[in-house]
Structure 1
Amino acid sequence: MSGCTNCSTDTQGVGGCQNNGSCGTGDCNKMNSFDWLSHMGIPEVDTFDVVEIKFKGGRKDYFRNSQLLPLTTGDPVVVDVPNGHHIGYVSLQGELVRLQMQKRKVKNDDSLTSIYRIASQKDLEKWQDAKNRELPTLYRSKQIIDELKLGMKLSDVEFQADNSKATFYYSADDRVDFRELIKILASEFKIRVEMRQISLRQEAGRLGGIGVCGRELCCSTWIFDFKSVTTSAARYQNLSLNPSKLSGQCGRLKCCLNFELDSYLSALKDIPKIEKPLLTEAGPAKLQKTDIFRRLMWFSYNDDNNWHSINCDRVQVILEQNEKGITPFNLKQDNAFEGEYDLNKTNEDLELLDKKFAQTKRKKKRKPKNRKPPTQEMAATGDTPSKPRRPNRNPKRGNRNRGGQENPSQPTPKGATGESKGAGNASRNRKRKPNPNRNRGGQNKPNKGPSDGA
């Protein structure tokens, strides 16, 4: 068989081979578990008969394979549920299921229901018809909740495969009286209604999404047990207590704050505790920042903006000197006569980054406009082409060559006669004739009629 078309697994790989779309890499479906015991060669006599079945939204449950059906990861099966049957996909089987049940504290007793059969094409078609009702039901239910003015948020609807029951998942801050809501939903959709309240973290896990790290949300891929997250985890990791940065898509503190907490606590054992400023001859040095994994600490003299980085070993030496009443010359030297304290250039990357952004952007010089090449006559005389003259906007004013020259842009050569100059001065000194019909007083003068002698 060919591999899954949604991943890079080839035909010879394990993932995607005979799994009916359930990729072994865990990227095709939500809440997948890698069966690392599948190729261990466990005897078939001791095979665990309980199978893990996955449903919509990453919900998982355990059912007994009493008929010993030949199941493969990803097979759709019909399982026994209260008041009907449902369809799910095989997500895990074998000895690893026993370990998962112990981890989730699920008892292997008679309370586990059994698997009926592998789902046929008719079962899948009926289940698909039931799934097609989920989205219209969700929209209509939200309208009913708004009409009843209930303080709850409906996030998802899941129909049973036999189309006889629907589970409504909602979240609310306070207790909600939804008895009237159940009556309306049951009468309108002709189904049995089950209301199930979930937390905001579970709601984000059912809806899914992409986190700020660029990967799928942990609550929708592998987390099934949500532990409480406190702000003390952020304090141990020296994170700024900014709610917008520490909150996930669910509106609560990110679950990943607990993942690296143990590593930070073990690394903090080698970091000296600074309860008061370090005393030096250059002034008291106050702690500003600590890099836990690089074991660097930044101090500033008298709350200055310039920070000085030293390693934790040097800080411990200064603390021991202050306890004995000894004041070093500065953070890096014990006295003024010894050389510079040998410090590796651990902060070189930050300095290069500061220099990169400290450089001011230079203004780009404008390129000269492309001018027309000079003609042969201009090249012979040595003249440069002049700027084209703007056209006259008022055509009534005529040519503005008042001096009588043919080309006003060319200057008058020396020794030329003054006729053109005198003509130009005469035109400038010419007085305008008064217009007797011009109305200077703002009054309307009647037009003169024809004279008697006309």
Structure 2
Amino acid sequence: MGCESCSTGKNGQPKGCKNNGTCGTDGCNKLSVFDWLANMDLPNGQEKFPYVEVRFKNGRKEFFKNQERISLSMGDIVAVEASPGHDVGMVTLTGELVRVQMKKKKVKPEGDSVLKIYRKATQKDIDIWQEAREREEGIKVRAREIAIRLNLKMKISDVEFQGDASKATFYYTAEERVDFRQLIKEFAHEFRTRIEMRQIGFRQEAARLGGIGSCGRELCCSTWLTDFRSVTTSAARYQQLSLNPLKLAGQCGKLKCCLNYELDAYLDALKEFPRQDTKLQTQKGTAVCQKIDIFKGSLWYAYEGEWMNWFELKTDQVREIIHAAKNNKPVASLEEFVSEEPQAASDKFEDAVGQDSLTRFDKPKKQQKRKPRKNRKRKPQAKKNNRNFKKKKPAKND
């Protein structure tokens, strides 16, 4: 989704609305929810749900009660209740879908934590809000310089001003507890406003900053992922990935969230496999599992002492060998279960359309024909006889 200003301009270049995250139709913002009930009327006698969803900087969303029954729609700039003063945000969702979102995020409508909407923002409110947002980048740089001077082991990742510019919230990350009492004093003296420090996790920091992942797409946490689940190294082991921290870590320095996406499918597939620590008892010797392939349903075993010779077995064959060993009737060896399958013939490319070459339209270079050489015998050169050779003198005119 996008507004008309998102179309291309001259020479195919993107036009853009240049609103820097405050698009009027809310179609260019991350974590936006499409209101598919907007064109549907409520049944007779049913009142509209009196709560709306308001978005602030970097996708931060909160729910507010429309106590005054103000006519609101997506994209409206509103002034909402804050502590202290008021804040300014954009309405991103109204109607019955707000009820669904509040239930999903476990926010009770009748709770004391739900604040209310004051009014639609006036031009004065919007001007103060825009001026405060323009100051945020410079204040963030200055705040980092002060934190480095005080030798605090913390990283200030973002600054967010309240809509009325009466309070600034500093988001920071730290591995240990930080005593920032002196830091708050210097911030208040430097910036002349109320200061609030809020610690966030490394995943939340990456979500606020955004970026491009190793897959070439925008980060999941900054586009659609809202709940961050713990990721452990066992997720990589179940998927048989190499435990390389450089490849498994994301931009936040933690394990990638996408390791959990396919984990359930791998766990369901591993239920059909026998345990890898189970040894196969045969008459020839004891075999130990070396490797498994979940997609093929195969396991590779090697005899103890003969680690270089691997035998590929299917899951049914492994269960048969284990069952025979439990009945005190071990099989002779693993070789009798290994079937030498003939190699499948490679599929040959069939040119059905006649477009098998990318250079089929190029004109072939004309080869110059070489003239055949004639076998001619060279005549011996006559030697000049200096004695018989007489140079004629030019005749003198009488």
| TM-score band, normalised by shorter chain | 0.7 to 0.9
Q: Secondary structure at the match of 2:74?
A: coil
The aligned counterpart of 1:126 is: 128
What runs of 5+ residues in structure 1 fail to find an aligned partner?
9-18, 335-339, 353-371, 384-412, 420-454
Question: Alpha carbons of 1:80 and 1:414: their partners in 2 closer, same or farther (altered >3 Å)?
Answer: same
Q: CA deviation at 1:321?
A: 3.2
Question: Alpha carbons of 1:51 and 1:299: their partners in 2 closer, same or farther (altered >3 Å)?
Answer: same
1:232 counterpart letter in structure 2: S
1:79 counterpart letter in structure 2: V
Whichever of the two has the greater Rg, that structure is: 1
Residue deviations 1:100-141 (CA, integer Å, cap 9, x gap): 323323232343221122334443333221111011111111
Question: Alpha carbons of 1:273 and 1:380: their partners in 2 closer, same or farther (altered >3 Å)?
Answer: closer
- RMSD (Å), alpha carbons: 3.8
Deviates more, 1:325-334 or 1:167-176: 325-334
Q: Distance between the aligned counterparts of 2:98 and 2:302, measured in 1?
A: 57
Q: CA deviation at 1:267?
A: 1.9
Q: CA deviation at 1:69?
A: 2.4
The aligned counterpart of 2:137 is: 135
Question: Alpha carbons of 1:87 and 1:234: their partners in 2 closer, same or farther (altered >3 Å)?
Answer: same
Does the aligned pair in 1 maintain the 2:79–2:120 contact within 8 Å? yes
- Residue 95 of structure 1 pairs with residue 96 of structure 2: yes
Q: CA deviation at 1:77?
A: 1.8
The aligned counterpart of 2:181 is: 179
Does the aligned pair in 2 maintain the 1:4–1:21 contact within 8 Å? no
Paired residue total: 347
Report sequence identity in percent.
49
What runs of 5+ residues in structure 2 fail to find an aligned partner?
9-22, 349-367, 387-398
Does the aligned pair in 2 maintain the 1:51–1:64 contact within 8 Å? yes
Question: Alpha carbons of 1:342 and 1:70: their partners in 2 closer, same or farther (altered >3 Å)?
Answer: farther
Q: Distance between the aligned counterparts of 1:7 and 1:281, measured in 2?
A: 74
The aligned counterpart of 1:64 is: 65
Question: Alpha carbons of 1:50 and 1:327: their partners in 2 closer, same or farther (altered >3 Å)?
Answer: same
- Residue 311 of structure 1 pairs with residue 314 of structure 2: yes
The aligned counterpart of 1:31 is: 31
Q: Distance between the aligned counterparts of 2:39 and 2:268, measured in 1?
A: 36
Scaled by the length of structure 2, the TM-score of the pair is 0.74
Q: Distance between the aligned counterparts of 1:72 and 1:307, measured in 2?
A: 67
Q: Secondary structure at the match of 1:223?
A: coil
Q: CA deviation at 1:322?
A: 3.7
The aligned counterpart of 1:113 is: 115
Q: CA deviation at 1:32?
A: 2.1
Q: Secondary structure at the match of 1:67?
A: coil
Q: Distance between the aligned counterparts of 1:418 and 1:142, measured in 2?
A: 104
The aligned counterpart of 1:81 is: 82
Q: Distance between the aligned counterparts of 1:7 and 1:330, measured in 2?
A: 65
Scaled by the length of structure 1, the TM-score of the pair is 0.66
Q: Secondary structure at the match of 1:182?
A: helix
Q: CA deviation at 1:210?
A: 1.8
Q: Equivalent of 1:163, from 162, 165, 171?
A: 165
Q: Distance between the aligned counterparts of 1:414 and 1:112, measured in 2?
A: 118
Q: CA deviation at 1:237?
A: 2.5
Does the aligned pair in 2 maintain the 1:310–1:343 contact within 8 Å? no
Q: CA deviation at 1:206?
A: 0.8
* More relative contact order, 1 or 2 (CA 8 Å, 6+ apart): 2
Q: Distance between the aligned counterparts of 1:181 and 1:277, measured in 2?
A: 61
Question: Alpha carbons of 1:373 and 1:95: their partners in 2 closer, same or farther (altered >3 Å)?
Answer: closer
Q: How does 1:234-253 map to 2 (within 5 A)?
A: 234-253=236-255
Q: CA deviation at 1:315?
A: 2.4
Question: Alpha carbons of 1:414 and 1:89: their partners in 2 closer, same or farther (altered >3 Å)?
Answer: same
The aligned counterpart of 2:206 is: 204
The aligned counterpart of 2:389 is: none
Q: Secondary structure at the match of 1:238?
A: coil
